[in-house]
């Protein structure tokens, strides 16, 4: 097949991204990623913002990764300013998969504290991948400010991000939170500290252990 034929097939697959059937959208994204064409990048990113199926979103991300980072990264950074939470979240997810550290300056404090839990979780994962050497402690501090937030999945994502930064960066950020007056913050910080030392402990066990220790510490006279 000639390059012209491949380009034609790629562009002809674009309408399939709008099909009502997830299987057709999946095949369209696969076809586009199999024969990358810079002209398809905009449509892929637009679809990421509205695609309801997780598996199709993953294929859209794969298709974007198949294109040159010099084309995709600037456009994905633009998407981080979108008003749509899914658009921000999926752009962050894709940037984390590309791993191009030129995107690091775009991972702002506003994204790390995004009001949407899924977008914030994507920002945490992207930040850990993209953070330049030496800036881990500052990132750990920004992440620690989110301790106690959300439900189990959100808290687990934050703990994983902090532990990925390593003890040297994470522990100094966790210590103040381990005595926070808010029990949710305190328990989350203590559980994360436990996971730093024992990654196999499991998040639920670490949280319950943190609650037990905190309860003992709160008794008159301490533990």
Query: What pLDDT is stored for residue 220 in this prediction?
Result: 54
Query: What pLDDT is stored for residue 2 in this prediction?
Result: 47
pTM: 0.87
When pLDDT is averaged across residues 139-145 and rounded to a whole number, the result is 98
End-to-end CA distance of the chain: 73
- C-alpha pair distances (Å), 48 with each of 5, 125, 149, 184, 189: 26, 18, 26, 33, 33
When pLDDT is averaged across residues 197-208 and rounded to a whole number, the result is 74
When pLDDT is averaged across residues 90-106 and rounded to a whole number, the result is 97
Distance CA 178, CA 182 (A): 10
- Reported as a single tens digit per residue, the pLDDT across 24-67 is 999 999 999 999 999 999 999 999 999 999 999 999 999 999 99
**Candidate from 76-90, 104-118, 134-148, 205-219 with smallest mean pLDDT:** 205-219
- Reported as a single tens digit per residue, the pLDDT across 109-129 is 999 999 999 999 999 999 999
Which residues lie below 8 Å from residue 72, measured CB to CB, with a gap of 6+?
A: 41, 45, 64, 65, 94, 98
Query: What pLDDT is stored for residue 5 in this prediction?
Result: 47
Query: Rounded mean pLDDT of the chain?
Result: 91
When pLDDT is averaged across residues 168-187 and rounded to a whole number, the result is 95
Query: What pLDDT is stored for residue 204 in this prediction?
Result: 72
Residue pair 194/206 in contact (Cβ under 8 Å)? The answer is yes
Asked whether residue 188 carries a pLDDT value surpassing 70, the answer given is: yes
Segments making up each domain of the chain, as ranges? 139-223
Distance CA 137, CA 165 (A): 8
């Amino acid at each position: 097949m000639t390059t012209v034929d491949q380009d034609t097939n790629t562009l002809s697959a674009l309408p399939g991204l709008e099909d009502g059937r997830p299987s057709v959208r999946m095949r369209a994204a696969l076809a586009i990623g199999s024969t990358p064409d810079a002209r398809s990048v905009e449509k892929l990113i637009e679809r990421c913002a509205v695609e309801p199926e997780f598996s199709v979103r993953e294929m859209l991300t794969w298709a974007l990764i198949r294109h040159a980072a010099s084309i995709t990264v600037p456009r994905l950074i633009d998407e981080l300013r979108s008003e749509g939470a899914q658009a921000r979240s999926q752009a962050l997810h894709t940037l984390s998969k590309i791993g191009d550290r030129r995107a690091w300056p775009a991972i702002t404090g506003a994204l790390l504290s995004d009001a949407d839990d899924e977008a914030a979780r994507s920002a945490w994962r992207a930040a850990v991948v993209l953070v330049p050497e030496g800036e881990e402690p500052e990132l750990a501090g920004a992440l620690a400010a989110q301790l106690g937030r959300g439900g189990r999945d959100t808290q687990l994502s934050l703990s994983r991000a902090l532990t990925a930064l390593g003890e040297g960066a994470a522990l100094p950020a966790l210590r103040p939170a381990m005595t926070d007056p808010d029990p949710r913050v305190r328990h989350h910080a203590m559980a994360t500290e436990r996971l730093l030392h024992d990654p196999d402990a499991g998040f639920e066990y670490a949280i319950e252990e943190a609650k037990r220790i905190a309860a003992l510490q709160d008794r008159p006279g301490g533990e």
